[in-house]
């Protein structure tokens, strides 16, 4: 059944392609809500069947009536608010869609969601989202042919296009630098050769290794989050290696690791961090040098970071110089802490500029053992570049996937209309999303090596 009232919470970069997809059904009535009305109005500009409202989701007295007035709510706000939205939806018996991982806070609401008879559909973006669609597809095909998936490797990266990776970090920010940086410091767990491996966040980036995906790129990869449950969720109990992780250009993890080692990623408030300090003076205070001259600072940086080679040392110290961290320029302090101060600085220097493209790169690698003992390596690869005159690759891949899944739920597809907390881990859910997504030009290339 289509032609429903849809409430979209959030006005970030993924919201517009999601809303635009849903407006293709002229019966849909879409309300876009965010705290600032003008931002919501700008997002819906030129889109039929839409309206904008101002809404503070942290206030239940404001959120509850809006959720109750709609048939479905798409939560594109930070994941920490999803549980609040779902609680409101349970009271109103309104379905919910998110692009985020199922958190413990959401999972704890499953019984209440089932009792209310609502669907809370999650992980329908890029990663998570599109990654699930093709993992489930290939694993299912291998099992149908009597094969076993002995190893599963999956790496994804949201990156600047190669020509735009033109700064020492080799990275650009399309959202909060703070969040992007901290996401690189998540702890990780995965299965390797039949054993669970746990990596603390402060050691993760030092484990990044060169990883070949396709010609023309120099990627490194490292594990991210907890891959262990995917052995069960993807129905591959036979797999002795299961790892999901992140792709970055060579050099990015080492640079972030150096900033971490030097204390720049400390979110604790510092009484001494004042507006009248220069970047060199902050650096001096953080790493404990006698003075703020560049030579003194550089010598101490080398002592702390213990770079793997002279070339690595030269590259990262040159990069810090490029970012002005040894300069006598007055720093703009944010949040009273080093992380927010650095994040604001990076946002000014290495955010995407008009006309620049991003890149989404995703690859699954399956090592398959067939009944006759033969072994093959199968790959599924997405190389998606943003449109400088349209949507970024990340916005399109997340937003359109979310829009497709939402419409399938609204249309009454039986696989989607199962009360409770669900994610696309089954063929019946993944296949219709994947088929519609391929119709939008987003398709992984599958090969046997």
DSSP calls for 171-233:
--BSS-HHHHHHHTT--EEEEETTEEEEE-HHHHGGG-EE---STT--EEEEE-EE-TTHHHH
Task: Say if residue 1's pLDDT is above 80.
Answer: no
Burial label, 418 (beta-carbon count in 10 A; 0-12, 13-18, 19+): middle
Lowest mean pLDDT among 168-172, 175-179, 184-188, 230-234: 175-179
**Catalytic sites, residue numbers:** 127
List pLDDT tens digits, range 104-151: 999 999 999 999 999 999 999 999 999 999 999 999 999 999 999 999
pLDDT at 449: 85
Q: For all residues of the chain together, what is the average pLDDT? A: 96
Handedness of CA 66, 68, 74, 79 (dihedral sign): positive
List pLDDT tens digits, range 56-84: 999 889 999 999 999 999 999 988 999 99
Cβ-Cβ contacts under 8 Å for 292 (sequence gap 6 or more): 278, 280, 281, 283, 284
Q: Which two tokens stand for residue 149?
A: 């998936």
Length of the chain: 449
List pLDDT tens digits, range 39-54: 999 999 999 999 999 9
List pLDDT tens digits, range 210-222: 999 999 999 999 9
CA distance 311 to 3: 60
95-98 sheet: strands from edge to edge: 50-54, 29-34, 5-9, 72-75, 95-98, 119-121, 420-422
Per-residue pLDDT averaged across 190-216, rounded?
94
pTM score of the predicted model: 0.94
List pLDDT tens digits, range 305-317: 999 999 999 999 9
CA distance 433 to 415: 11
CA distance 268 to 390: 39
Q: How confident is the model at residue 202 (pLDDT cuts 50, 70, 90)?
A: confident
List pLDDT tens digits, range 382-397: 999 999 999 999 999 9
Helical ranges in 26-108 per DSSP H: 37-43, 60-68, 82-92, 104-107
Task: Say if residue 2's pLDDT is above 70.
Answer: no
List pLDDT tens digits, range 353-407: 999 999 999 999 999 999 999 999 999 999 999 999 999 999 999 999 999 999 9
């Amino acid at each position: 059944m289509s032609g429903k009232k849809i409430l979209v919470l959030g006005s970030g970069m993924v919201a517009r392609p999601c809303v635009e997809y849903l407006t293709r059904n002229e019966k849909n009535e879409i309300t876009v809500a965010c705290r600032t009305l003008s931002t919501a109005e700008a997002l819906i500009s030129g889109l039929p069947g839409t309206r904008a409202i101002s809404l503070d989701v942290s206030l239940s007295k404001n959120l509850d009536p809006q959720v109750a007035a709609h048939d479905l709510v798409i939560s594109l706000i930070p994941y920490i608010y999803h549980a609040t939205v779902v609680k409101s939806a349970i009271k109103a018996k309104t379905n919910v869609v998110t692009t985020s991982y199922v958190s413990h806070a959401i999972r704890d609401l499953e019984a209440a969601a089932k009792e209310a008879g609502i669907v809370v559909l999650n992980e329908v973006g890029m990663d998570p989202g599109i990654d699930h669609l093709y993992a489930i597809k290939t694993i299912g095909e291998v099992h149908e042919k009597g094969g076993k998936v002995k190893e599963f490797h999956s790496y994804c990266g949201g990156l600047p296009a190669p020509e735009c990776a033109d700064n020492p970090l080799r990275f650009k920010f399309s959202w909060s630098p703070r969040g992007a940086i901290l996401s690189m410091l998540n702890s990780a767990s995965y299965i390797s050769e039949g054993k669970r491996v746990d990596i603390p966040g402060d050691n993760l980036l030092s484990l990044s290794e060169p990883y070949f995906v396709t010609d023309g790129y120099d990627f490194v990869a490292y594990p991210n989050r907890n891959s262990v449950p995917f052995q069960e969720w993807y129905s591959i109990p036979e797999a002795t290696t299961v790892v999901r992780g992140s792709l970055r250009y060579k050099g990015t993890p080492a640079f972030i690791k150096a900033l971490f080692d030097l204390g720049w990623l400390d979110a604790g408030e510092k009484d001494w961090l004042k507006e009248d300090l220069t970047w060199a003076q902050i650096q001096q205070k953080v790493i404990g040098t006698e003075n703020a001259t560049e030579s003194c600072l550089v010598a101490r940086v080398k002592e702390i970071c213990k770079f793997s080679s002279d070339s690595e040392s030269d590259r990262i110290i040159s990069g810090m110089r490029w970012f002005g961290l040894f300069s006598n320029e007055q720093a703009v302090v944010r949040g009273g802490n080093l992380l927010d101060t650095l994040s604001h600085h990076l946002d000014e220097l290495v955010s995407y500029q008009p006309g620049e493209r991003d890149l989404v790169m995703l690859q699954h690698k399956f090592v398959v053992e067939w009944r006759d003992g033969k072994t093959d390596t199968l790959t599924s690869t997405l190389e998606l570049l943003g449109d400088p005159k349209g949507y970024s690759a990340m916005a399109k891949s997340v937003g359109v996937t979310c829009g497709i899944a939402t419409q399938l739920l609204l249309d009454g597809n039986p696989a989607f209309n199962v009360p409770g907390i669900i994610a696309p881990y089954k063929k019946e859910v993944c296949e219709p999303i994947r088929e519609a997504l391929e119709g939008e030009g987003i398709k992984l290339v599958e090969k046997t090596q």
